[in-house]
Amino acid sequence: MAADAKGVAAFVRRSGALLVLAAVACGGCGRGADERASRWTGGEPSRGKLAIRRFGCSSCHTIPGITGADGLVGPPLDRLASRAYIAGSVPNTPPNLIRFLAHPHGPHPTTAMPEMRIPERDLRDIAAYLYTLR
């Protein structure tokens, strides 16, 4: 019985993550996408673009819409809003993305991504921008 309960709990977690992912990926482009990303993350995509530059994310990642963001150390971040997982194993939800950006070594102690000590406001803004990338 305990195995069945664990399986159900895992299904519910995955289903919830997929529902959030579907909601993030739904709908058109442009300002509507920015508004949805803001609502889900509590951040502002336009400020996120600035924070991405300020914290040097572009030195390791290729990021659409960010001039000079052509790094090859980390994965490209194109279409991040359409992905099922962050860092290969963390369900792609706004709270998980914000937590991962704050502490990438939490789920992946050996990741090359450094702990950047990014303030909460900037974390939310960066996540909001990344969720506009479909």
Domain boundaries, the chain: 2-130
Asked whether the whole model's pTM tops 0.95, one would answer no
Terminal CA-CA length for the chain:
40
> Is-contact 43 127, C-beta < 8 A?
yes
Percent of the chain with pLDDT over 70: 77
Measure CA 5 to chain center. Answer: 29
In tens, the pLDDT along 15-54 reads: 455 444 444 444 444 568 889 999 999 999 999 999 999 9
Written as six digits, the tokens of 84 are 């099922």
Q: How many CB atoms lie within 10 A of CB 17?
A: 17
Instruction: Classify domain 2-130 by CATH number.
Output: 2.60.40.420
Q: How many CB atoms lie within 10 A of CB 117?
A: 8
- pLDDT band per the 50, 70, 90 thresholds, residue 117: very high
In tens, the pLDDT along 96-105 reads: 999 999 999 9
Q: How many CB atoms lie within 10 A of CB 97?
A: 26
Q: Which residues contact 53 (CB under 8 A, 6 or more apart)?
A: 66
The burial class, CB within 10 Å (0-12 / 13-18 / 19+), for 68 is exposed
Written as six digits, the tokens of 7 are 């399986």
